[in-house]
Amino acid sequence: MESTMEKEEALIGSIDQGTTSTRFIIYDQSAKVVAAHQVEFTQICPQAGWVEHDPLEILETVKICMQEACEKAKAAGRAVETGLKAIGITNQRETTIVWSRSTGLPLYNAIVWMDARTSSICRRLEKELQNGKNHFVETTGLPISTYFSALKLMWLLESVDAVKTAVKNGDALFGTVDSWLIWNLTGGIKGSRKNGTKVQGSHVTDCSNAARTMLMDLKTLDWHASTLEILKIPTTILPQIISNAEVIGEIVQGWPFAGTPLAGCLGDQHAAMLGQSCRKGEAKSTYGTGCFILLNTGQEVIASTNGLLSTVAFKLGPNAPTTYALEGSIAIAGAAVQWLRDSLGVIQSASEIEGLARSVENTGGVYFVPAFNGLFAPWWRDDARGVCIGITRYTTKAHISRAVLESMCFQVKEVLNAMSIDVKQDEKSKENEEFLLRVDGGASVNNLLMQIQADLMGSPVLRPADTETTALGAAYAAGLATGVWTEEQIFSSGAKKEEPTVFYPKVGDEHRKKRYESWCKAVERTFDLANLSS
């Protein structure tokens, strides 16, 4: 990609704050990685189905990654301290934080997107509201689910005394991880000086993250007053909603790259869409802790009748049109591999699973459904729990490992089937080999996983040379906001990068159909298992 800046090298930084790790990546004008650093952080599980993060630990990992990437770039001879033009942020979505305006400290741990503690609140609302689970879908695009931030915020407001008191005293601020990072990077309680006046850090969120709270009107991109009233969420604690590509503020002293503009922000899956340069009608699947498939639907909000979510794709500037998407969210993908490693000890590192799974030709009839905290799209069953069926004396850890990989691909196929129906494609087009799925994320480097995906879909899978498109998308947004790149350059950038790898299906339709039918039977076995006693 050619830069619009010719006098000096322009570098762009990207904070990629994920579910299990944080990264900071520095890109050059050709969108190539100059330096990167990654740090994992603690996963806190106080009870079954509960998942939390320490917001202060997240901040510390961001600072470490920024510092280390800076040192690596300087060691490579890059003038990073003067050449870095802007920094973008991308983050795990829906994860919910409430902190004190006066102390800057979190009032409770961050409640992570996959946390299922709000199931009783969900059931209560479904009974109370006229349209049940779908009461807010028309406005927000989202069903009532443990997944979304509003329900986690309700739990905090109802269950945590420190949050109740802070809200009552006007001292509480709510945000998803993007808001927490921006508030701190732009000054927090110490603030900064603007026009001679001291102001606290910027309390904002971008429209893609706001779209995942179940509180934003998809069409107006404003907080929806009647939804807030129903859920008893005060507007005073909410951040301002902004676009994905605009200058938000400058990083303050005490952080690496002080004085550098924060100029772009997107939720991780929306960033991946931008990083993949997805145009209208194109879909991408990101394989990380979870798996997320998004289809760009252009400037039209398409209401799903098949368990998908209507959401914002991106809005590339304050005055830019809003691009929308259909999304299928899968809670457990790479996290199942971590479970094999950390909980069962089947593998010692995630990279081992490909070799182990490849040592057998198939799963030996084993099907694994990773409904650890329920199932997201297209089922939306928080009463589901994981199952592994078809086990015999013949079954080995290799068969189970292969079944874990297949579980990711079957779930993606389910979502793509639903998308095909929602956009009114006919049955034949579901198996149309001209359809191409763009893939990215950490697990997409697994060649066997990608081949299984192509086989089960019956259509090609395209993997870019740089699979970390989430961080790249945040960099694109920041570069767009500061004039480093144009929108035309971003969406034509695919032709200027290294050649992608394409995986083509190798199995027949009959075999594919039989396997899929068996998978559907396995999914049905997961329902109504949440209340089983140990």
Q: Is the dihedral of CA 262, 62, 446, 148 positive or negative?
A: negative
Listed range (147-156, 312-321, 460-469) with the worst mean pLDDT? 460-469
Q: What average pLDDT does the segment 63-79 reach?
A: 93
Q: Are 334 and 372 in contact (CB under 8 A)?
A: no
Distances (CA, A) of 154 to 31, 163, 301, 508: 41, 10, 27, 49
**Ranges assigned E (strand) in 52-151:** 52-53, 84-91, 96-100, 110-111
Identify which has the larger pLDDT, 381 or 166. 166
Within 8 A by CB and 6+ apart from 391, the residues are 366
pLDDT at 6: 43
| Whole-Å CA distances, 465 to 165, 276, 359, 451, 486 | 50, 11, 26, 16, 22
pLDDT digits (tens, 9 = 90+) for 103-157: 999 999 999 998 989 999 999 999 999 888 899 999 999 999 998 999 999 999 9
Residue 194 phi, psi (nearest 5): -125, 120
Other Cβ atoms less than 10 A from the Cβ of 224: the count is: 20
Mean pLDDT, the chain, integer: 90
Alpha-carbon distance 257 to 135, whole Å?
45
Q: What is the pLDDT of residues 222-239, one digit of tens each?
A: 999 999 999 999 999 999
Residue 533, Cβ density class (10 Å: 0-12 exposed, 13-18 middle, ≥19 buried): exposed
Output the pLDDT for position 510: 93
Question: What is the predicted pLDDT for the residue at 3?
Answer: 45
Question: 398-427 burial by CB neighbour count: b if 16+ within 10 A, else e?
Answer: bbbbbbbbbbbbbbbbbbbbbbbbbeeeee
pLDDT band for 23, please (50, 70, 90 cuts). Answer: very high
First vs last Cα of the chain: how many Å apart? 56
What are 450's two structure tokens?
Answer: 């990608």
pLDDT category at 531 given cuts 50, 70, 90 is confident
pTM for the full predicted model: 0.86
Q: What is the bridge-based pairing of β-strands 11-17 and 21-27?
A: antiparallel
CA atoms of 74 and 173, how far apart (whole Å): 37
Which of residues 492 and 116 earns the better pLDDT score? Answer: 116
Amino acid at 220: T
Q: What is the pLDDT of residue 431?
A: 43
Of 52-56, 197-201, 333-337, the one with minimum mean pLDDT is: 197-201
Region 377-397: mean pLDDT is: 91
Position 197 scores a pLDDT of: 65
Asked if pLDDT for residue 508 goes beyond 70, the answer is yes
Domain spans of the chain, in order of start? 11-276+467-496
Q: Which CATH number applies to 11-276+467-496? A: 3.30.420.40
Quick one: pLDDT band at residue 329, thresholds 50, 70, 90?
A: confident
Q: What is the pLDDT of residue 423?
A: 85
pLDDT of the residue at 428: 39
Q: Which of 43-47, 372-376, 447-451 has the least mean pLDDT? A: 372-376
Per the structure block, which two tokens stand in for 412? 């993606």
Copy the structure tokens of residue 72.
């690596």
Q: Write the pLDDT tens digit of every residue in 244-276.
A: 999 999 999 999 999 999 999 999 999 999 999
Cβ-proximal residues to 407 (8 Å cutoff; 6+ apart), any chain: 336, 367, 368, 369, 370
Residue with tokens 């998803």: 176
CB 380, CB 133: distance < 8 Å? yes
Is the pLDDT reported for residue 194 higher than 70? no
| pLDDT the model gives residue 433 | 38
